[in-house]
Amino acid sequence: MLFSNEEMKTAYEELIRKESPSGAILGAFIGSIPAACVYLLIEDIRIAAILLFLLPPLIVGVTAKFLGKTHKAKHRIPVGLIAVCLHITGCLYLELSPLYYLLTPLIFGISFVSARIHLNRVDEWALEFLPILEFNSDSDGNAKRSEEINARKEKQRLIEMERQSDVYFGIPSNLPKSYREFRNLPTEAKGFYFYLGSDGIEVIEQFLQSEYVNQVERLVIGDSTYALGSGLKYDKITEAVSKVNFANVKEFSLGASELFCNAHCVFGTIGDITNSFTGMPKLKDLYLGGAFELHKPLYFPELERLTIQLDDYYTCVNGGPIAQATLDNLLKSRFPKLKEVEIDLERFEEDKEYTLVDSFLSELQTPNLTQLEIYGSFKSGEFERINHVVKMNNKQVNLTLAESKYE
């Protein structure tokens, strides 16, 4: 994260100390005095220029900003209403055409926006993330469940599904009705989706120290099209996750790039995943988005679906290729219940040529494999050889081999 908890706490306390909703209203009334003079000026010089009508709400808003120093929308609504009342009064006084009353929404908008104080980067992060950083807030500093997170921001970016078992960090609350803003972190939450990029590491570390790790079943760590998190280097997050036991996690995504609109993905680096899954004995669905390292074969007793993606064909934002040794160790791992596999190694202008380990298709390693999709640059004749190995092993596998998934 760009700022420490202490920096955000100091910034937040300073914002609250300076904020004065009553001062904003008082400032709006005081600003109405010089603003009213503008209407007198319009009457005196007989000018009905629209630009002059935009000056009073600006005066009202700036004065409210100076005295109120408020950042919350609900505290600026009265300022907008005062500017609107002044505008309507001015129009009545000048006996103007009804057309001038159509400026009312614009008048409200100008005063509403101009009344908001400027927030620097640390202020924005403090308002965004400080309410989240309370997974372990007891007096001794020991980790414990925080059943309530007080909402200190008018538009808090903490979202839950209607079923109240999945919570989302890093997406706005003005989403379709299947999502809704929450004020208290649900005690029964079983799905945690962190769309904060790798810059959200402190939030995730707080989560990893909480008791929620004992009940979470769906865990997603990545970014999204809302781009609230800018970092794509998940190495430290991967290391932190590898030190925690997730007794009930069944679905795990690392380096995900979630699309909430018609867009494309971006990928970075995940780091060393060698020890990341030893604490996930019930893992059934694994997604890895981005370049990673694996230094030895692993054992996945319950895994049924594996998906790997290094790049997006459109954005071409990626963390580089994986090594042949990493691919070998992955394919030498044991997957007694694995059914579906998609390994997409394609990268823009990729010049790395891979080979596939034969034993991956053996009855010992993948006895239940039914679907295998492999994309990327492989050595000449490698795809033909894989086809031959499948036939030799009498595998009933739906096999797809291609350089690109989008050919």
Whichever domain contains 353, its CATH number is: 3.80.10
Confidence grade of residue 161 (pLDDT, cut at 50, 70, 90): very low
Q: What is the mean pLDDT of residues 279-308?
A: 96
Q: Is residue 147 part of a domain?
A: no
177 and 238, same structural domain? yes
pLDDT for residue 248 is more than 90: yes
385 and 287, same structural domain? yes
Q: Is residue 301 part of a domain?
A: yes
Q: Are 341 and 369 in contact (CB under 8 A)?
A: yes
Mind listing the pLDDT tens digit for each residue in 168-210?
A: 888 776 655 555 555 567 788 899 999 989 988 988 998 999 8
Mind listing the pLDDT tens digit for each residue in 75-89?
A: 888 888 998 898 888
Nearest to 369 by CA among 392, 399, 344, 389: 399
Q: What is the mean pLDDT of residues 246-252?
A: 96
Q: How far apart are CA 62 and CA 51, in angstroms?
A: 17
- Ranking 157-161, 180-184, 373-377 by mean pLDDT, the lowest is 157-161
pLDDT for residue 64 is more than 90: no
Write down the H helix ranges in 211-323: 235-241
- Residue 126, C-beta contacts closer than 8 angstroms, at least 6 positions apart: 3, 7, 8, 9, 11, 12, 15
pLDDT for residue 372 is more than 80: yes
Share of the chain above pLDDT 90, in %: 38
Give the long-range contacts of residues 151-154, CB within 8 A, separation 24 or more: 151/183, 152/12, 152/127, 153/72, 153/127, 153/128, 154/72, 154/73, 154/74
pLDDT of residue 291: 96
pLDDT of residue 2: 46
Q: How far apart are CA 186 and CA 378, in angstroms?
A: 47
223 and 92, same structural domain? no
Nearest to 114 by CA among 156, 70, 175: 70
Residue 282 buriedness (CB in 10 A; 0-12 / 13-18 / 19+) = middle
Q: Is residue 96 part of a domain?
A: yes
Nearest to 72 by CA among 121, 123, 134: 123
79 and 226, same structural domain? no
160 and 105, same structural domain? no
Confidence grade of residue 43 (pLDDT, cut at 50, 70, 90): low
Q: Is pTM beyond 0.85 here?
A: no
271 and 173, same structural domain? yes
pLDDT of residue 263: 82
Q: Which phi and psi (to 5°) does residue 251 adopt?
A: -125, 130
Q: Is residue 142 part of a domain?
A: no
pLDDT of residue 184: 64
Q: Are 141 and 167 in contact (CB under 8 A)?
A: no
Q: Is residue 140 part of a domain?
A: no
- Residue 257, C-beta contacts closer than 8 angstroms, at least 6 positions apart: 222, 223, 224, 265, 266, 267, 289, 312
- pLDDT, averaged across the chain: 80
Element (H, E) at 319: none
Residue 16, helix vs strand vs coil: helix
- Ranking 161-170, 273-282, 357-366 by mean pLDDT, the lowest is 161-170
255 and 165, same structural domain? yes
Angle formed at CA 404 by CA 334 and CA 288, multiple of 5 degrees: 40
Q: Is residue 330 part of a domain?
A: yes
Tokens of 292: 């990673």
32 half-sphere exposure, CB direction, 13 A CA radius = 19
Give the long-range contacts of residues 130-133, CB within 8 A, separation 24 or more: 130/5, 130/8, 130/9, 130/12, 131/156, 131/158, 132/158, 132/169, 132/203, 132/206, 133/5, 133/8, 133/202, 133/203, 133/206
Residue 288 belongs to domain spanning: 155-403
191 and 45, same structural domain? no
Which of 89, 104, 134 is the endpoint of a domain?
134
Q: Is residue 144 part of a domain?
A: no
Q: How far apart are CA 284 and CA 73, in angstroms?
A: 44
313 and 238, same structural domain? yes
Total domain count, the chain: 2
pLDDT of residue 180: 59
Q: Are 266 and 312 in contact (CB under 8 A)?
A: yes
Element (H, E) at 52: helix 50-68
242 and 368, same structural domain? yes
Which of 99, 134, 169 is the endpoint of a domain?
134
- Ranking 118-127, 210-219, 338-347, 364-373 by mean pLDDT, the lowest is 118-127
- Ranking 10-14, 90-94, 297-301 by mean pLDDT, the lowest is 10-14
39 and 69, same structural domain? yes
pLDDT of residue 330: 96
pLDDT of residue 405: 85
pLDDT for residue 321 is more than 50: yes
282 and 358, same structural domain? yes
pLDDT of residue 49: 56
Q: Is residue 111 part of a domain?
A: yes
Which of 79, 101, 134 is the endpoint of a domain?
134
